[in-house]
Amino acid sequence: MEKFQIEGGYKLNGSIRISGAKNAALPILMSTLLVDGVSTISNVPHLNDVTTTLALLGTLGSSTTITDKLEVQIDATNIHSYKAPYDLVKTMRASILVLGPLLGRFGKADVSLPGGCAIGSRPVDLHLKGMQTLGAEIDVNDGYIRARTKDGLKGAKILMDTVSVGATENILMAAILAKGITTIENAAREPEVVDLAQCLIAMGANISGAGTDVITIQGVDKLQSASYKVQPDRIETGTYLVAAAITRGKVLLKDTNPELLEAVILKLRETGAEIKTGVDWIELDMKGNRPKAVSIKTAPYPGFPTDMQAQFTALNSIASGTSTIKENIFENRFMHINEMQRMGANISIDGNTAICVGVKTLKSAQVMATDLRASASLVLTGLVAEGSTIVDRIYHIDRGYDCIEEKLHALGAKLKRVS
């Protein structure tokens, strides 16, 4: 199993380009199932989850071409299967997002219950209730969701019990070809939902309200071929900003969007970082200073993102002062803390709150990643720990970070992949 070996103590400095957003690219790729034709998607990151998604689409009958401009062309004209098998779905929770497009266009779908990161309970109930409200008959047996419609989906009013990005996206895609008007109340407002909606609009969908808590969809008869560029990855951006802050360095991140990161940038400024922004770039400079501790509370967008909690926990572990980190989204997302404690971090957990007393130095150790963002946080602690840190089970990080070694090398980090 591959690992990262990281030599700590090097200050990051330089510039890199940010890739397309994984959490936007996956639903956008799934949405191509709604088009009887060819969709061209650009700025798609090179990630294991993207490879899995393209393999899943291929299993259903889509054909994929990578152009010389590194665009992904997906032809969903000849879909011949409506089953998302366990061997593909087990590694990636986003696989459930084929449910809405398959139901919406073909009226049937068999989707294995999904896998993914072990960060707590993320039930599919909201997805299934939404499909049922649109008129689907749902049966869950032998680990598979079996969904059918007799006469196609019908527009409906859907009130989400809790805010869910994935359920919002799945219901949104299902409603595009439904007859009549669908409203999704208490919808997720995340930028990735907006990106999906804008892609669907480019394909001919009639959607209003994306980015607010009420999304309205007027069903259309069909979608047409379109080209769309995936937005920059705000979590990748935030991770490299924290990497610069934790190492007291200076970085320039290109091809990103600071408007998507207001909560993260605000907290980084509290650490003492000097941050400058432009339309598509962010520069962070710590001026060589040790960061100050900052307290955070995760919340749905536009609040502080849960996907940045582990990285800020790493930052707080070596920051000056005491901080509290409150995780309000997932109940099992502190597994990285045990590994940080092995490196000398002074962190205690009380329910969904971590109390962190910053220490001046961390010591290298062999640590194990438990999920995608936890793996990133352990790489960050390795960047500042004394000695050589080994991060095991890095297949997690390959699911969400495009060319992480090359980008960290470009900034002056010392790490390598070992077996």
List alpha helices for 34-124, DSSP H: 48-60, 86-89, 99-106
* Cα 7 from Cα 137, distance rounded (Å): 55
* Cα 62 from Cα 361, distance rounded (Å): 51
Residue appearing with tokens 């602690």: 381
**6, HSE (Cβ side, Cα atoms, 13 Å):** 33
* Cα 163 from Cα 156, distance rounded (Å): 18
Degrees to nearest 5, angle at CA 33 with 142 and 21: 95
Q: For the CA atoms of 106, 110, 115, 121, what is the dihedral angle to 10 degrees? A: 90
The residues, ordered by sequence, that sit 6+ positions from 117 with a Cβ below 8 Å of its Cβ are 93, 370, 371, 372, 396
Catalytic residue among 117, 199, 356, 403: 117
List alpha helices for 296-359, DSSP H: 309-317, 335-342
Cα–Cα separations (whole angstroms), residue 39 to 29, 44, 116, 198, 378: 9, 13, 27, 14, 37
Cα–Cα separations (whole angstroms), residue 222 to 35, 127, 200, 381: 7, 23, 11, 49
Amino acid at 158: I
* Cα 219 from Cα 369, distance rounded (Å): 43
283: phi then psi, degrees, rounded to nearest 5:
-120, 130
CB 99 within 8 A of CB 147: yes
CB 63 within 8 A of CB 72: no
Cα–Cα separations (whole angstroms), residue 9 to 369, 380, 388, 390, 404: 21, 11, 10, 15, 18
Q: Is 199 a catalytic residue?
A: no
* Cα 405 from Cα 306, distance rounded (Å): 24
Specify the DSSP element, H or E, that contains 137. Answer: strand 137-141
Q: Is 62 helix (H, G, I), strand (E, B) or coil?
A: coil
* Cα 49 from Cα 53, distance rounded (Å): 6
Q: Catalytic positions, please?
A: 117
